[in-house]
Structure 1
Amino acid sequence: MNRFTTRTSRQTRPATVRIGAAVLATATAATLAACGGNGGGGGGGSQSADGTLTIAFDADAAPTGYDPLLYSQRQFEFFASLYDSLFVTQPDGSVEPSLVTEFSNNPENTQTTLILREGVTFTDGSPLDAEVVKANLDRRSDPDLEAYGSLAPGQASEITDVTVQDPRTVVITWAQPQATPEQNLADTTGVIVGPTGVADPSSLETTPDGSGAYVLDEDATTRASTYTVVKNDDAWAADEWVWDTIEYDVITDPQSLANAVVSGQADIATQLDPTTIDLVQSRQSTVDVGGTIVGFPVIDKLGSSNPAFGSEQVRQALLFATDRESLVSDLHDGSRPTSQFFPEDAPGFDPALDEEFAYDPDRARELLTEAGYPDGIDVDLTVLGQPDEDAVAVQSQWAEVGIRLNFVTATSTDQVFAAVRTDPVIFGPFSVGSNPAGFVAGVLYGGFMNMQQAQEPDIQSALGAALGATGDAQQQALTDLNRAITEHGWFIPVYEDVTYAGYNADSVSEPAFAGTNNYLVLSAVQPAS
């Protein structure tokens, strides 16, 4: 079962088919051996008076228990305290070893050898070794495990074999070349669960089994309300984490979430609603990051449910029919209109695409006529409740060129999720982050956005090149991949959204996002100096 998270933007949003923002798949960056610590950690600084860091989340951090692999990358902001990963993303967006001390690829980039850290133990008392890493990665075919989407059979970063060479050495074999395997195994995707949790995943519903610097304080934890973790001084990376206790408060109401950091109830509040930013900034400080693309994934690329969508010209017509500039100006001050799937700060971003596929209603009409639809087309979009204000705005824009967007009201959430297989398009925010090739591999081409298993040689070729290359060759492949997605109309972007976090500068220093991903590097949070 996929676990989706949603975001709001400049105004509170009712539910369209907001099926996207959570699935940060991973994939790509370096073949040389490397060394490193528990990513982004670093002691120093004086703690707050009671040594407690309080973080307010906009959603339940662990709604189905403490198996981190059931969740998307964003949940690493919580699970990083309880679990360690093979690799972790740093504030600058680079990926560094954590449970790994060295790694290397074979010349063909089809096998990766990992050397594991010594002296690591899990909550169940077992040591980290190659067998437990293999046991974790051997779960990759379980469809319930959100984090393993890109590693699963048939995906672009598919693992075909995991071999234990000796107690500290694991050899991973990939289905196709992976020049930068560390990005495949970073953060949530690379989390290693202890032997007890792997042997009996149901035990993780109530009891974490990690090697992280903290353990769950069950007496101070109320599920769906407050999660409290306390420092395990015996953990291998304990010295790299400053706080004695971290408390996570779940506050789902946007105004209450903002009030928590404004009043000092929380040191940090994550995923703030943009409508509350002015309030937070009037009393506290904020940080923000892009990387979330809001738009319409084209689901029916074969024309199975709507024959018009089998035409690339029709899909391109949707691109030219979308007036992104006016939509952002009217509804999303601070966001960036975009005609491409890759975020502005991600490798492969191409400013030329925003010019080439800018709003051009005349061109949209020409393309519809060339495709054999001079009278326009009908497009169904399933919504739960009232349609999203963005979708309503786009409905009006598309109508001007003869694209009739019809909202179909769902009577259940099951109908909403079924729409991923039946509607020609869905709509929502998608946290593409700083590794768009990984998102393409695990979601857009190899995941739920392509359940028809449509094939597009340009996309497939560029994706393979992006995953299998480094340096300038990888940069060119990413640029080619970005262009191919746009030119073939696999995604209709509208704008790049911004994720905000508020913080109390009197208690903590400025927190950092994991590159352009929309989650914070928890281990990097320091007390105010």
Structure 2
Amino acid sequence: AGCKAPLKRFMGTDSMTEMIDNGSMEVIDDYTFKMKLAQPQVDVADWWFNILVVPCAAVRSAAQYEAEGDAMFETGPAGTGGYQFVERELKEFTEYEAVPYDHWRVNPEFKRLRITTAPEDLTRLAMLLTGEANMVDVPKVLHQQAIDEGMEVFESPLPSVGLTILPLGQYYVSEVNWNPETEPWNAPGETGNKVREALNRAINREQIINELFKGRGEPLYNTIFHDSLEGWNPRWADEFDEKYGYDPERAKQLLDEAGFPGDNGQNR
């Protein structure tokens, strides 16, 4: 029931999701939940049960929601984590405390945890340097200032879900709207293959990482796919430089071969 209830809210008629007509749900027993999809969807588990992607689909207490409604999110939602809700001031902070018993997974190292809302980057940096905060998230441009003041930068072992930068975006458009003059990368056959390879070879990823991210970044060899995810193929990384590595001269040659010689420099 705790699994079914939030998904029903997520897929309700007043929801903005596109998954409203995506099948049925049934509670078999206390540990079994059955979903029957209206259409094939191989990534359903990742999308519907990954609270980083769909926070509103996180499992909540169905009994508590029936008794309190949306107020439960203000008064203290029931959960199974190592911290429990204490209080929240809208636009100010949210505070938690460690549960008063041995937790089933891990006992928190900090007895209390306060997450403060501070939208401005410089404000967060000042809070860190003055001791008002123990840890903050600041953009890379401010990292060196924090390091100079004796602070240490920690990086998550997981790929970011908050920001993805895709230079040039996806190399395809709808076939109905395809314009060979403005979207040559979507041309059929070998022509499109050569244009897409040229686009890849024209991008200096190492320079982007060093200049834009101050050396603190890593390239993606497949759009929005990381080697920490299931289904990763090591060939993507092993063969990338050979097939798509930075080579501006080869990029120009490929455009010539594809029939886009770059008159007046327009295609280069």
TM-score normalized with structure 1 length: 0.37
Shift of 1:199: 8.9
How do 1:249-264 residues align onto structure 2 when only pairs under 5 Å count? 249-264=116-131
The aligned residue for residue 78 of structure 2 is 210
Q: 1:164 to 1:306 in 2, by over 3 A?
A: same
Answer whether contact 1:320 1:357 (CA < 8 A) is retained: yes
TM-superposed CA distance for 1:227, in Å, is 1.9
> Structure 1 residues 336 and 245, CA, compared in 2 at 3 Å: closer, same or farther?
closer
Higher relative contact order (CA 8 A, sep 6+): 1
Identity of aligned residues (%): 15
Partner of 2:2: 132
Contact 1:321 1:401 in 2 (8 A): no
Change (3 A) 1:316 1:193: same
Shift of 1:265: 1.4
Whether the 8 Å CA contact 2:220–2:226 is kept in 1: the answer is no
Whether 2:212 is the aligned partner of 1:331: answer yes
Which structure shows the higher strand fraction?
A: 1
Deviation at 1:248, TM superposition (A): 0.9
* Corresponding residue number in structure 1 for 2:251: 364
Alignment of 1:51-450 (within 5 A): 131-141=1-11, 144=16, 152=19, 160-173=23-36, 176=40, 181=45, 185-188=49-52, 189=54, 191-195=58-62, 196-197=64-65, 203=71, 206=74, 209-212=77-80, 213-218=83-88, 221=89, 223-230=90-97, 233=100, 240-269=107-136, 271-282=137-148, 283-289=150-156, 291-292=159-160, 294-296=165-167, 297-298=169-170, 300-302=172-174, 304=177, 306-307=179-180, 308=183, 309-311=185-187, 312-313=192-193, 314-336=195-217, 338=219, 340-341=221-222, 342-343=225-226, 347-349=232-234, 350-375=237-262, 402-403=267-268
Name the CA distance, whole Å, in 2 between partners of 1:285 and 1:247.
20
Letter in 2 for 1:319: N
Q: What whole-Å deviation, never above 9, does each CA across 1:269-316 have from its counterpart, x for those lacking one?
A: 2x3211222233342332114735532322752252654253234333
SS class of match (1:217)? strand
Q: Is the 8 A contact 2:140 2:214 kept in 1?
A: no
CA distance in 2: counterparts of 1:338 and 1:217, whole angstroms: 40
Summarize deviations over 1:167-225 as a string: whole Å, max 9, x none: 4432334655869958963444562123354798754675553325412414xx2x222
Output the CA distance in 1 between the equivalents of 2:120 and 2:256: 47
Instruction: Kindly indicate whether the alpha-carbon contact (under 8 Å) linking 2:61 and 2:78 is maintained by their aligned counterparts in 1.
Output: yes
Gaps of 5+ in 2: none
1:101-140 alpha-carbon deviations (Å, 9 max, x no partner): xxxxxxxxxxxxxxxxxxxxxxxxxxxxxx2321223345
Aligned length: 238
CA distance in 2, matches of 1:372, 1:284: 54
CA–CA separation in structure 2 for the residues paired with 1:239 and 1:338: 33
SS at match of 1:266: coil
RMSD: 4.1
Measured against aligned partners, the alpha-carbon deviations of 1:473-510 in whole angstroms (never above 9, x if no partner) come to: xxxxxxxxxxxxxxxxxxxxxxxxxxxxxxxxxxxxxx
Alpha-carbon contact 1:193-1:209 (below 8 Å) kept: yes
* 2:84 partner letter: Y
In structure 1, list runs of 5 or more residues that go unmatched: 1-130, 377-398, 404-529
- AA aligned opposite 2:199: L
- Determine the C-alpha separation between the residues in 2 that align with 1:245 and 1:339: 37
TM-score (norm 2): 0.66
Please say if residues 98 and 110 of structure 2, whose CA atoms lie closer than 8 Å, have aligned partners that are also in contact: yes
- Contact 2:93 2:116 (C-alpha < 8 Å) held by counterparts: yes
Distance in 2, matches of 1:332 and 1:215, equals 36
**TM-fit CA distance, 1:164:** 1.3
